A and B are shown apart, each in its own frame.
Chain A
Amino acid sequence: MTRNSQAAAESVFREESGRIIATLIRLAGSFDRAEDALQEAFTSALATWPKTGIPTNPAAWLMTTAQRKLIDQGRRERTQREKEDSVRYEIEAFRPATEPELETAMHLPDDRLRLIFTCCHPALNQEGQVALTLRTLGGLSTPEIAKAFLLPEPTLAQRLVRAKRKIQEAHIPYEVPPPERLPERLASVQTVVYLIFNEGYVATAGDQLVRTDLCAEAIRLGRVLRDLMPHESENVALLALMLLHDSRRAARIHNGELITLEEQDRTLWDQTKISEGLALIEQAVRRGPPGPYQIQAAIAALHGEAKTASETDWQQIAALYEKLLELNASPVIALNHAVAIAMSSGLAEGLKHIEQIGASGQLDRYYLYHAARADILRRIGRKKESASAYSKSLELATNKVEQQYLRRRLAEVQNRPQ
């Protein structure tokens, strides 16, 4: 029983804390007070539920209890303040003038929308946005986030403190932005979610390629975002994109080694995720004009639908990258476009594109530029040049699994056993 209620409390906490904390922040006008109140409510649940049994609506129980804690907290602080008559001043952001009334129903529109827009406010730095989103909306603990990003806990804690302080002291509003500011602000939210996913999909450091926990969390956040604003086609497309990438997770590593898309065992691809991704793309297409996520998802879908690597519709993929370049003329997208050209219109043509991109020097420090160039040179049979490009890429790569892969390729073009 005790173990059951502990597990129930933990699972409710994990599932519902984002929703609960979002409302508590609105009522308390402070991230810290809200977190304290929720923590206290959770502690109460652990103490009470083994005796009374798990309540019929555990989320509502936690919400009500946390709100009571919030009111108690407010009273305690007021009494304390009245006792102290010494001169003191306080900088307070959005403290409500009156005591919050107990809210039994979850607030509509969902407070999580305010929360996600505040966490991803462009006035916060990206590290802070990511940490705060995972902490509050994702319900991850500080040690969990630190572990996922392979960072020391104090570093992560510091990021959270800094972000929360800026929200409070610079009065970053706790609200859904008005329609005229929505596109820009929503893009910033989507960036944070996709950043979390990418950090999980290709961890920038460490000896593991994929950090499954971060991918799963990003997909969960992507679902929340889609559910909150289902009419935004790019929210739907972002979720599709993440699912389609994630569907290949099991096939990307074999015996600790990176397996490229071309060499992957496609029977290991998660068909459930692929079909959900494909269905979502259709929804996204119906809901809005193609944005960057929709185009990227369409590219991922073309890979997902190809039964073998040679059946991949590279021509279509090249066309999609061209569209993407129109929206965002980034050299990284241009690089992907060049690879698609190499695969559809011929290696020599692709190499020409790659070297044009390289001429700007913008991608000199980008390991995938050198890896892509090395790969085409290898296919053409210009082994010496390929080897030096692989070496360059190896110098710049920071993930151990990717380094291992590049070493294997390097040995191959140098005609030596690894």
Chain B
Amino acid sequence: MRYMLLVYSREQAPAYPESMQQIAEGHRRVMAEAAAKGILEGAEPLRPATTATTIRPQNGKSIVLDGPFAETKEQLAGYYILNCKDLDEAIEWAKKIPTGCGGAEGCIEIRPLLEQPAHLMVQAAHH
């Protein structure tokens, strides 16, 4: 089963550039380990929430707004998609991700992907 591990973190840069480096290295380590196990389906960091644009329908039109969907202390900073046996395995991986559990501020939210059977995906592709 595939899980998306959403990485939420505080956006202000850490006081020391070395810790920035350490976090980035931590992510690379997790990615390498997951890739070696063959369960890494994707992982990308995002640009900060200051670059976010929100599109929301209003009165039948789509309005475009500057900024993230929710103003919170912790913002979505990146994601992993991992193919795990079950939630426990996903939790173990989440614990390795540097943000939150790995020392830096923030947290990881684990969400199972709503797996669509292949034939539905194919149908969608043909429309």
Q: Which A residues lie at the B interface, using CB under 8 A?
A: 87, 89, 91, 121, 123, 169-173, 177, 181
Q: Please determine whether B86 and A171 come into contact, CB atoms closer than 8 angstroms.
A: yes
CA gap between A170 and B85 in the complex, in Å: 11
Q: How far is the CB of B91 from chain A (nearest CB, A)?
A: 7
Q: Please determine whether A172 and B117 come into contact, CB atoms closer than 8 angstroms.
A: no
CA gap between A172 and B85 in the complex, in Å: 10
Q: Which residues of B contact A173 (CB under 8 A)?
A: 85-88
15 inter-chain pairs at a CB distance below 8 angstroms, sorted by A residue, are A89-B117, A91-B115, A121-B87, A123-B87, A169-B112, A170-B87, A170-B110, A171-B1, A171-B85, A171-B86, A172-B87, A173-B85, A173-B86, A173-B88, A181-B88
Q: How far is the CB of A167 from chain B (nearest CB, A)?
A: 9
Q: Which residues of B contact A87 (CB under 8 A)?
A: 119-120, 123
Q: Please determine whether A170 and B119 come into contact, CB atoms closer than 8 angstroms.
A: no
Q: Assuming the A-B contacts A91-B114, A91-B115, are A171 and B120 also in contact, with contact meaning beta carbons closer than 8 angstroms in the complex?
A: no
Q: Which residues of B contact A169 (CB under 8 A)?
A: 112
Q: Please determine whether A171 and B112 come into contact, CB atoms closer than 8 angstroms.
A: yes
Q: Assuming the A-B contacts A171-B1, A171-B112, are A89 and B87 also in contact, with contact meaning beta carbons closer than 8 angstroms in the complex?
A: no
Q: Please determine whether A89 and B112 come into contact, CB atoms closer than 8 angstroms.
A: no
4 nearest interchain CB pairs?
A173-B86, A171-B86, A89-B117, A171-B1
Q: List 16 additional A-B contacts (Cβ < 8 Å) besides A170-B112, A171-B84.
A: A87-B119, A87-B120, A89-B116, A89-B120, A121-B87, A123-B87, A170-B87, A170-B110, A171-B85, A171-B87, A171-B112, A172-B86, A172-B87, A172-B88, A173-B87, A181-B88
Q: Which residues of B contact A181 (CB under 8 A)?
A: 88
Question: Which residue of chain A is the closest to B115 with respect to CB atoms?
Answer: A91
User: Residues of B within 8 Å of A, CB-based: how many?
Assistant: 16
Q: Which residues of A contact B117 (CB under 8 A)?
A: 89
Q: How far is the CB of B52 from chain A (nearest CB, A)?
A: 27
Q: How far is the CB of A172 from chain B (nearest CB, A)?
A: 5
Q: Which residues of B contact A123 (CB under 8 A)?
A: 87, 91
**Chain B CB within 10 Å — which of A123, A170, A177 has the most?**
A170
Q: Which residues of A contact B87 (CB under 8 A)?
A: 121, 123, 170-173
Question: Which residue of chain B is the closest to A166 with respect to CB atoms?
Answer: B87
CA gap between A171 and B114 in the complex, in Å: 12
CA gap between A121 and B87 in the complex, in Å: 10
CA gap between A169 and B87 in the complex, in Å: 10
Q: Which residues of B contact A171 (CB under 8 A)?
A: 1, 84-87, 112
Q: Which residues of A contact B1 (CB under 8 A)?
A: 171
Q: How far is the CB of B74 from chain A (nearest CB, A)?
A: 20
Question: Which residue of chain B is the closest to A122 with respect to CB atoms?
Answer: B91
Q: Which residues of B contact A89 (CB under 8 A)?
A: 116-117, 120
Q: Which residues of A contact B110 (CB under 8 A)?
A: 170
**Chain B CB within 10 Å — which of A169, A171, A172 has the most?**
A171
CA gap between A170 and B110 in the complex, in Å: 9
Question: Which residue of chain A is the closest to B123 with respect to CB atoms?
Answer: A87
CB proximity to A under 8 Å, residues B17-42: none
Question: Which residue of chain A is the closest to B114 with respect to CB atoms?
Answer: A91
CA gap between A173 and B112 in the complex, in Å: 13
Q: Which residues of B contact A172 (CB under 8 A)?
A: 86-88
Q: How far is the CB of A352 from chain B (nearest CB, A)?
A: 38
Q: Which residues of B contact A177 (CB under 8 A)?
A: 88
CA gap between A177 and B119 in the complex, in Å: 36
Q: Which residues of A contact B88 (CB under 8 A)?
A: 172-173, 177, 181
